[in-house]
Copies of this chain bind each other. A is one copy, B any other.
Amino acid sequence: MKAVVLLSGGLDSSTVLYQAKALGLECYAISFDYQQRHRRELESAKAIASSAGVVEHQQVSFDLRAWGGSALTDSKIDLPQDRSVTEMAENIPVTYVPARNTIFLSFALAYAETIGADCVYIGVNALDYSGYPDCRPDYIEAMQSVFRLGTKQGREGIAIAIVTPLINLRKTEIIQLGNQLGVPWEKTWSCYAGEDLACGVCDSCQLRLAAFAQLGIPDPLSYAQSVI
């Protein structure tokens, strides 16, 4: 069985890749350079893909800065800092990139159909940082219909399945799962700021640090500052 795995190089997608590997799937990773502020995550994606031993790792490049609309693609919009996990959950955050997962899943679908893959793995999570609309189960179901109806393979009755192993897990549970699977956390990257060291104060660093701290497990990354 072949799986296409969406790989950003963060905790979640790295855990998903290691899980797909553990299940014995032939994994084809796909990453996206959309000129995101934290493009350096792509180096982590490469390192993780290589550690996990994927068959192939595709990187698709396009530029979402053309129309901006997100703190991750428009440097004029400041990244939120020092927010509690509760504050993050209250609204759709400015780090929301319009239609990002739809774009990512579309390319994954194209890749999957071309290589004859059976499924697409994506590390979306509807619990922590639940503000993103394109991480929720009903959205994934809608994309599943698109996978079925929008492809030759789906029309012939064998739709490519979207698999979301983390959708109902807390960040702490994801780290526990990743630990069991042997994910090399030191090779992952979560920070939105994209500097040499992880900032420690953006939403993504905060969530990561809070989860490691809650579990009493040391996070092997170095941080410029840490408020946890």
Q: List the B side residues contacting A58 at CB < 8 Å.
A: 66-67
- Whether a CB of chain B sits under 8 angstroms from the CB of A114 is yes
Residue pair B145, A114 in contact (C-beta under 8 Å): no
Residue pair A61, B64 in contact (C-beta under 8 Å): no
Chain A facing B: main interface SS:
helix
Name the interface residues of A28-69: CB closer than 8 Å to any CB of B.
58, 60-64, 66-69
Residue pair A60, B60 in contact (C-beta under 8 Å): no
Q: How far is the CB of A146 from chain B (nearest CB, A)?
A: 5
Residue in B92, B99, B114, B143 whose beta carbon sits within 8 Å of that of A69 in the complex: B114
Name the interface residues of A89-116: CB closer than 8 Å to any CB of B.
92, 96-103, 105-107, 109-111, 113-115
- Whether a CB of chain B sits under 8 angstroms from the CB of A155 is yes
A105-140 near B? 1/0 per residue, CB < 8 Å: 111011101110000000000000000011010110
Residue in B60, B103, B110 whose beta carbon sits within 8 Å of that of A98 in the complex: B110
Q: List the B side residues contacting A101 at CB < 8 Å.
A: 150
A139 to B149, CA, bound (A): 5
- Whether a CB of chain B sits under 8 angstroms from the CB of A142 is yes
Residue pair B114, A103 in contact (C-beta under 8 Å): no
- Whether a CB of chain B sits under 8 angstroms from the CB of A83 is no
A interface residues (Cβ-Cβ under 8 A, vs B): 58, 60-64, 66-69, 92, 96-103, 105-107, 109-111, 113-115, 133-134, 136, 138-139, 142-143, 145-146, 148-152, 154-155
